Amino acid sequence: MLEYSVIKQDRRKFLALTGLTAKEFNSLLPPFIEVYDRTYPSHTTLAGHKHRRRSGGGRRGQLDTAEQRLLFILVYQKTYPLQTVMGELFGFSQAAANQWIHRLLPVLLEALDVLGVMPEREGQALAEAEGGHGEPADYIIDGTERRRQRPKNSIKQAEHYSGKKKTHSDKNIVIVSRRSKRVAYLGPTRAGKTHDKKMADDEQINYPHETVLHKDTGFQGYEPDVQETRQPKKSRVERI
């Protein structure tokens, strides 16, 4: 069974399971507690009814501390196992794992928003959103692909088949700050066949002034209104 008190002592394992360092985990914990307590007050049940038992009465819950609850939902987000596996890892049933996931995921999303680390989802709002971070406008843009189940519909099969990955996939445009490694923008999900440049053009991304934008060959010809775009050139290998 995964327990926060034990897993936090192994730095590498903690990072592999949660995607966060101990310092980042501790920074996320206060807003997570605040949002959880506001969403699920201790004096009411999950259905919103007043508790009949005295505080502390009844059976002790499986995720009885804020650290354990945050660990649970981070492990789910990072590794995305079956709910049955999540139940085995944390010592309860698949049904209980399902309930905890639906309870904690909105809390995690709101806590991340409170910290100001959620990426912008609207391309035209990126410049305004980035103005409050106080970082140099130095970004990397890229298209990310992830495998998906093969669609049964033949038309959707063709749309989602990625010749680059030789599999069916979904993809998104991601813009990351080079200095802080923070994800500044996450575009809408598109079919894997869609070209990176076409996605970027369709999303009409509005960049901050004096932006330096780094891109790869998937964005050949993509020249938004920025100070400079940089694209690496392929080295020429002389044949003997």
Specify if 203 maps to a domain: yes
What pLDDT, in 10s, does the model give residues 110-119? 999 999 889 9
Q: Are 128 and 222 within one domain?
A: yes
Specify if 26 maps to a domain: yes
Q: What is the mean pLDDT of the chain?
A: 90
Specify if 235 maps to a domain: no
Specify if 213 maps to a domain: yes
Domain boundary among 96, 115, 134: 115
Q: Are 111 and 9 within one domain?
A: yes
Structural domain boundaries, residue 162: 123-230
What pLDDT, in 10s, does the model give residues 130-186? 987 888 999 999 999 988 989 999 999 999 999 888 899 999 999 999 998 899 999
Q: Are 214 and 128 within one domain?
A: yes
Query: Cα-Cα-Cα-Cα dihedral of 101, 104, 110, 112, to 10°?
Result: -80
What pLDDT, in 10s, does the model give residues 27-79? 999 999 999 999 998 766 655 666 666 655 545 557 999 999 999 999 999 99
The continuous run of DSSP H or E covering 74 comes out as helix 66-79
Tokens of 145: 């692909």
